[in-house]
């Protein structure tokens, strides 16, 4: 039966044979250089020989095997399995550079294997210690250590249970806090600051965590909350991935004033056309915007007593009224609920109080030339004078209820109508009035030339104004249009007829002007 020896036993036997050989060589040299007494002559070292004979010699061959074995054991001890002292794998490791520390047989070599692949070796020093640096990636990992013999063979090994490598913990910066410097009123407050990108910032107000904000990639965060009027203490916290507070900022104080929402103080919203005086309340120092049908019609600054007033002009119609309150920088602070209203014409200005304009028919036939038309109507209203279907001018009813319209008309038959607007804003027209202007009698022979001119005016056809066209006002002068006369031009331009005659001395006959003629205008 073949007995198989272990590698360590074979190595010790080889060492033993080498030691025995060395001992034999040493003995041969000793015998050669210093022979013992029994090989010397009878007279040499007799005393030594005697002493030697008294002692029983010990065979060198008998003592040599034990000494050789002990020497072999001291020269090459058995290689023990390597041990890992740190780090503790079960506690979890952070990804990145890791240093392994352990112990082993001095002089041996430790091979490090991660996830089944060799990553390097470490020498065990004389004090039995070894170290090895390696990089670990995040995830589940395995580790094995092997003790190598001098010939590189594996003397012994040890395997460790699988362990987790986690992402390295992020060092969180203490977040900063920027407090608002304007619009410090109760209500919505915007807070912002900086922190570690991707981390969470806790917002603590009056020692209570009111919410968190995530820091963006640009390193900033923002948070909006509602705060009542008064003084508040605010600070922010850096919160780690486990929800623990990693650091806190210093505390800050914030004082907020009471915000008075804008309101109308009108008891009712029944208005008449014209100027409407809006008023109400708001926060002192802010600006109130009054909106009518979504358009801002005016602004007012709220006084120190919290009131404001604003006049606005409204015509008859339906309106949606609303208010906005803004800060000095234009920031919208609050809005008031809209109010719908209708602006109606006052009863005193209704159709019941309106007088349709009338025309005072002449008692006798009038002659062609300068004619003054008269009548009655509602004081203050404006009347359009319509002759033969054409508007020839306007007149305003005086306070006494009468109106008058001076003009120049050639002889002929006329149909007169009066147009105006009643108290409800509706255009109305009177029934037509018919009248005639007689031809001018022939003058004396010594005034033949003037008579010819007058006759020319008097014989204008009745449909002369069917193609009427206004003239051109050039400021200091006027180009006469079609179917225009001096009285009509004076009324149209709002100047006095005598003043117009006075600046046109070149006109011999005021009743005779023609289209395209340039006349002078008095200063206006």
Stated pTM of the model: 0.36
DSSP string, 336-365: EEEEEEEE---GGGSGGG----EE---SSP
Per-residue confidence (pLDDT) for residue 467, from 0 to 100: 62
Annotated domain spans of the chain: 7-75, 83-166, 187-256, 263-344, 351-438, 469-520
Under the banding of pLDDT at 50, 70 and 90, the label for residue 424 is low
CA distances from 108 to 7, 27, 81, 448 (A): 15, 35, 10, 154
- Provide the CATH topology of domain 263-344: Immunoglobulin-like (2.60.40)
Per-residue confidence (pLDDT) for residue 232, from 0 to 100: 92
Residue 510, helix vs strand vs coil: coil
> Which range has highest mean pLDDT (40-44, 97-101, 393-397, 452-456)?
97-101
Percentage of residues in the chain having pLDDT higher than 90: 20
Can you tell me the mean pLDDT for 181-205? Answer: 87
Candidate CATH numbers 2.60.120.260, 3.30.70.20, 3.40.440.10, 2.60.40.10; the one for domain 83-166 = 2.60.40.10
Shared fold status for 83-166 and 469-520 = no
The CATH homologous superfamily of the domain defined by 187-256: Immunoglobulins (2.60.40.10)
Residue 441, helix vs strand vs coil: coil
- Provide the CATH topology of domain 351-438: 2.20.130
Per-residue confidence (pLDDT) for residue 420, from 0 to 100: 84
Please say if the pLDDT value at position 201 is more than 90: yes
Q: Which is higher by pLDDT, 402 or 16? A: 402
Per-residue confidence (pLDDT) for residue 2, from 0 to 100: 40
Whether omega before 87 lies within 30 degrees of 0, making that bond cis, reads yes
DSSP bridge partners of 385: 393, 418
**CA gap 482, 334 in Å, rounded:** 61
The per-residue pLDDT of the chain, averaged, comes to 79
Please say if the pLDDT value at position 56 is more than 70: no
Please check whether residue 322 is in contact with residue 336, taking contact to mean a CB–CB distance below 8 angstroms.
yes
Burial of 407 (0-12, 13-18, 19+ CB in 10 A): buried
Q: Which is higher by pLDDT, 416 or 124? A: 124
Per-residue confidence (pLDDT) for residue 364, from 0 to 100: 58
DSSP string, 215-282: --TTSEEEEEEEE-SEEEEEEEEEE-TTS-EEEEPPPEEEEEBPPPPPEE--S---B-SEEEEEEEE-
The CATH number of 469-520 is 3.10.350.10
Under the banding of pLDDT at 50, 70 and 90, the label for residue 483 is confident
Q: Which is higher by pLDDT, 90 or 441? A: 90
Per-residue confidence (pLDDT) for residue 417, from 0 to 100: 86
Please say if the pLDDT value at position 5 is more than 60: no
Span 207-229, pLDDT tens digits: 999 999 999 999 999 999 988 88
Span 275-320, pLDDT tens digits: 888 888 988 888 999 988 888 888 999 998 989 998 888 888 888 8
């Amino acid at each position: 039966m073949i007995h198989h020896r272990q590698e360590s036993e074979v190595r010790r036997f080889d060492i033993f044979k080498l030691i025995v050989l060395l001992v034999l060589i040493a003995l041969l040299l000793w015998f050669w250089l210093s022979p013992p007494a029994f090989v010397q002559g009878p007279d040499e070292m007799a005393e030594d020989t005697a002493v030697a004979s008294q002692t029983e010699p010990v065979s060198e061959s008998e003592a040599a095997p034990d000494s050789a074995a002990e020497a072999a054991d001291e020269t090459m001890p058995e290689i023990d399995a390597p041990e890992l002292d740190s780090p503790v794998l079960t506690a979890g490791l952070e990804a990145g550079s890791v240093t392994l520390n352990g112990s082993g047989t001095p002089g041996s070599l430790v091979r490090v294997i991660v996830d089944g692949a060799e990553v390097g070796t470490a020498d065990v020093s004389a004090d039995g210690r070894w170290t090895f640096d390696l990089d670990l990636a995040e995830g589940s990992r395995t580790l094995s250590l092997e003790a190598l013999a001098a010939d590189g063979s594996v003397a012994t090994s040890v395997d460790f249970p699988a362990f987790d490598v986690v992402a390295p913990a992020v060092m969180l910066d203490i977040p900063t806090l920027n407090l608002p410097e304007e619009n410090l009123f109760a209500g919505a407050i915007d807070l912002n600051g900086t922190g570690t990108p991707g981390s969470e910032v806790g917002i603590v107000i009056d020692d209570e965590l009111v919410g968190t904000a995530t820091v963006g990639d640009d390193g900033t965060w923002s948070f909006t909350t509602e705060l009542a009027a008064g003084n508040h203490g605010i600070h922010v916290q850096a919160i780690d991935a486990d929800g623990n507070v990693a650091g806190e900022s210093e505390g800050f104080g914030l004082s907020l004033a009471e915000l008075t929402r804008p309101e109308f103080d009108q008891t009712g919203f029944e208005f008449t056309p014209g100027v409407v005086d809006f008023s109400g309340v708001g926060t002192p120092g802010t600006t109130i915007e009054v909106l009518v049908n979504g358009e801002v019609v005016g602004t007012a600054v709220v006084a120190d007593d919290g009131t404001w007033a604003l006049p606005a002009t409204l015509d008859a119609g339906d309106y949606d009224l609303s208010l906005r309150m803004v800060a000095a920088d234009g920031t919208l602070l609050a809005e008031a609920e809209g109010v719908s209203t209708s602006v109606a014409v006052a009863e005193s200005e209704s159709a019941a109080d309106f007088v349709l304009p009338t025309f005072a028919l002449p008692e006798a036939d009038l002659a062609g030339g300068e004619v003054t038309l008269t009548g009655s109507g509602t004081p203050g209203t404006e009347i359009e004078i319509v002759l033969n279907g054409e508007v020839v001018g306007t007149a305003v009813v005086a306070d006494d209820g009468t109106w008058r319209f001076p003009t120049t008309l050639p002889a002929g038959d006329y149909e007169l109508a009066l147009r105006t607007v009643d108290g409800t804003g509706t255009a109305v027209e009177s029934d037509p009035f018919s009248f005639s202007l007689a031809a001018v009698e022939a003058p004396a022979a010594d005034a033949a030339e003037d008579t010819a001119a007058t006759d020319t005016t008097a014989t204008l056809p009745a449909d002369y104004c069917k193609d009427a066209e206004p003239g051109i006002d050039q400021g200091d002068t006027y180009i006469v249009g079609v179917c225009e006369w001096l009285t009509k031009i004076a009324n149209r331009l709002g100047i006095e007829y005598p003043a117009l005659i006075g600046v046109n001395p070149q006109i011999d006959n005021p009743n005779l002007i023609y289209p395209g003629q340039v006349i002078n205008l008095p200063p206006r």
